[in-house]
Chains A and B, each alone.
Chain A
Amino acid sequence: MTVTSGMDLDALYQEIILDHYRNPLHQGLREPFEAEVHHVNPTCGDEITLRVHLGDGVIDDVSYDAEGCSISQAGASVMSDLVIGKSVDEAMAIHANFLELMQGKGKVVPDEEILEDGIAFAGVAKFPARVKCALLSWMAMKDAVSTALSEGEPHE
């Protein structure tokens, strides 16, 4: 075996993550939406503009325009695919579960039932500098949902 790198790179860059990075799901900004937020990772400059469309307590759509590394881009793809069609309560529970995984320093075993493709991010938790990349879109989604719930007027 030849040593090509000194870290477990393949744990970070799981094939699922690279697939989502190359072919992101649900990207682009769509209407209608009740809230639009813009989140920035100030240390590295990753950015996301994200919209949510809610209907009767359910997340009908999450659309986004994001710029950033493979981890943050794949994060937005996986997140949107997980929460679209879920109730707000279910989406927040998935968010909490993903957050726990990310803050677990690689010690938390991910639950595929809940996180689906999101389990591929388990390796990211071992790279503290990249956790914020994985969480950027999740934080934006949470912010947009709470803004939509408090303001609530649809933009057509």
Chain B
Amino acid sequence: MTLDGLLPELEVVRKDFPILERELAGGFPLVYLDSANTSQKPQVVIDAMVDHLEHHNANVARAMHQLGAESSAAFEEGRDKVAAFLGAPSRDEVVFTKNASEALNLVARVLPLGPGDNVVITEMEHHSNIVPWQLACERTGAELRWFGLNEDGTLDLSNADSLIDEHTRVVAFTWVSNMLGTINPVAELTKRAHAAGALVVVDASQAAPQLPIDLASMSPDSRPDFVAFTGHKVVGPTGIGVLWAREDLLNELPPFLGGGEMIETVTMERTTYAKAPHRFEAGTPPIVEAVGLGAAVDYLSHIGLADIHRHEQTITAYLLEGLASINGVTVLGPLDASQRGGAVAFEVDGVHPHDVAQLLDSRGIAVRAGHHCAKPAHKRFGVQASTRASSYLYTTPAEIDALVEGIGYTQKYFKVV
């Protein structure tokens, strides 16, 4: 079947991802609905990494030979591609980290905070945008505050004026929720935080894969100051994440990790530091991962983020419709596909999420079950765990049909229908 809004060359796109040919136990074809956890990789990313390792491998910046020059150029080209992907005003604003968690920890570690200050987060954050702030507040004596959630899975902004006050130093929130799928009003919240004199940190781990992002086109008052995402969710490799931040801030803030590459000069008494981005890239960076990430974001840009976003919305609408057709299934988060991302968490009455996932897995359908590193958000909705199906640019309506059928099979197996 076909739906308006799917990627026009979906079958060609699927051929770019070799793993989608996988057959699983019992001869079931892989139905991969766990892309919010990690995305699959196109051949072009795999090839770019293999080519680098086979022909150009050397350390970067410090190797005085031809391979060193090639490797440095390839690594820095990865940075250029990521800068273009984000529409970053400057390439020097792109810092490579290990993952999004490290990027968020970096920010929470270096921003100056003290007693009397407060940090505002939200109840729908991934643990990686909660715990670093708890640690920062414990270390500095700052107060941690958070936005609650409305019943429909959106942020409750009714008390925004009392939460964000003149003592707020940081407002940190996710662009797209990994559990509820909610798309948060980034520009509106950022404007409000900036008006109070606070800095804004956005976790774009779920947004970067599926929303077009153009930082340069955002007006400075509504543009976040820090944006973090991870490579492996944007069809790139694991082991690399990105922190984008305003260049002036990066060059003002103290370093995070000390070591090679982040220095200007070192004596036994003191050290002066390099300018961003190298200031925040101590030690040998993830070189081949940067090459892979560059190829990945190029691939997504070639397909077109606007088209990918439309595809995701179309598949998500079809998924929500399918889930609504099953008695005893409740979706957590917004029910309007245009208001949400492509990760849909749900409950099946009488069957625990682990058991749902196990039954689906036995039919080749890969979903995630558990708290999805968002325990507070689950608690808010009175559930301990959920099952989550998440699509991406290679997902087909037939795969959603397989999921819906698999849930029906699960209900019969557990005799709840």
- Flag whether A106 is at the interface (Cβ < 8 A): no
- Flag whether B299 is at the interface (Cβ < 8 A): no
Residues of B within 8 A of A44 (CB): 354, 369-371, 385
Residues of B within 8 A of A133 (CB): 354
Nearest residue, chain B, Cβ from A18: B414
- Flag whether A7 is at the interface (Cβ < 8 A): yes
Contact with B along A47-88 (1 / 0, CB 8 A): 100000000000000000001111101000000000000000
Contact with B along A18-50 (1 / 0, CB 8 A): 100000000000000000000000011111000
B370 & A9 in contact (Cβ 8 Å cutoff): no
Total count of chain B residues near the partner, CB < 8 A: 25
Q: A44-B370, A44-B371 are in contact. Are A7 and B353 (CB under 8 A)?
A: no
Residues of B within 8 A of A150 (CB): none
- Flag whether A91 is at the interface (Cβ < 8 A): no
Give the Cβ gap from A64 to chain B, nearest Cβ, in Å. 15
Nearest residue, chain A, Cβ from B415: A18
How many pairs of A and B residues are in contact by the CB < 8 Å rule?
64
Q: What is the CA–CA distance of A126 and B107 in the complex, to the nearest angstrom?
A: 43
Q: A6-B363, A12-B358, A133-B354 are in contact. Are A45 and B26 (CB under 8 A)?
A: no
B370 & A130 in contact (Cβ 8 Å cutoff): no
Q: What is the CA–CA distance of A4 and B378 in the complex, to the nearest angstrom?
A: 32
A45 & B362 in contact (Cβ 8 Å cutoff): no
Residues of A within 8 A of B381 (CB): none
Q: What is the CA–CA distance of A130 and B353 in the complex, to the nearest angstrom?
A: 13
Residues of B within 8 A of A68 (CB): 352, 354, 384
Query: Chain A interface mostly helix, strand, loop or mixed?
Result: loop
- Flag whether A109 is at the interface (Cβ < 8 A): no
Interface centre among A6, A45, A47, A130 (most CB of B within 10 A): A45
A7 & B384 in contact (Cβ 8 Å cutoff): no
Contact pick for B359, options A9, A45, A67, CB 8 Å: A9
B384 & A69 in contact (Cβ 8 Å cutoff): no
Nearest residue, chain B, Cβ from A67: B384
Residues of A within 8 A of B61 (CB): none
Residues of A within 8 A of B355 (CB): 13, 69-71
Q: What is the CA–CA distance of A13 and B26 in the complex, to the nearest angstrom?
A: 18
A6 & B24 in contact (Cβ 8 Å cutoff): yes
Q: What is the CA–CA distance of A68 and B352 in the complex, to the nearest angstrom?
A: 7
- Flag whether B25 is at the interface (Cβ < 8 A): yes
Q: What is the CA–CA distance of A43 and B368 in the complex, to the nearest angstrom?
A: 12
Q: A12-B358, A68-B352, A70-B352 are in contact. Are A43 and B364 (CB under 8 A)?
A: no
- Flag whether A1 is at the interface (Cβ < 8 A): no
B27 & A3 in contact (Cβ 8 Å cutoff): yes
Within 8 A of A (CB), among B43-96: none
Residues of A within 8 A of B354 (CB): 44, 46, 68-71, 130, 133
Q: What is the CA–CA distance of A137 and B14 in the complex, to the nearest angstrom?
A: 44
Residues of B within 8 A of A4 (CB): 363, 409
Q: What is the CA–CA distance of A43 and B414 in the complex, to the nearest angstrom?
A: 24
Contact pick for A6, options B362, B409, B413, CB 8 Å: B362
Supply 10 further A-B pairs (C-beta < 8 A) apart from A6-B27, A44-B385. Answer: A5-B362, A6-B363, A45-B370, A45-B371, A45-B384, A46-B354, A67-B384, A68-B384, A69-B353, A73-B352
- Enumerate chain A interface residues (CB-CB to B < 8 A): 3-7, 9, 12-13, 18, 43-47, 67-71, 73, 127, 130, 133
- The 7 A-B pairs at the shortest CB distance, nearest first, are namely A6-B26, A5-B362, A69-B354, A6-B25, A69-B352, A45-B371, A7-B362
Q: Can you report 21 A-B residue pairs in the complex whose CB atoms are below 8 A from each other?
A: A4-B409, A5-B26, A5-B362, A6-B24, A6-B363, A7-B26, A9-B358, A18-B414, A44-B354, A44-B371, A45-B370, A45-B378, A45-B384, A45-B385, A46-B354, A46-B384, A47-B384, A67-B384, A71-B354, A73-B352, A127-B358
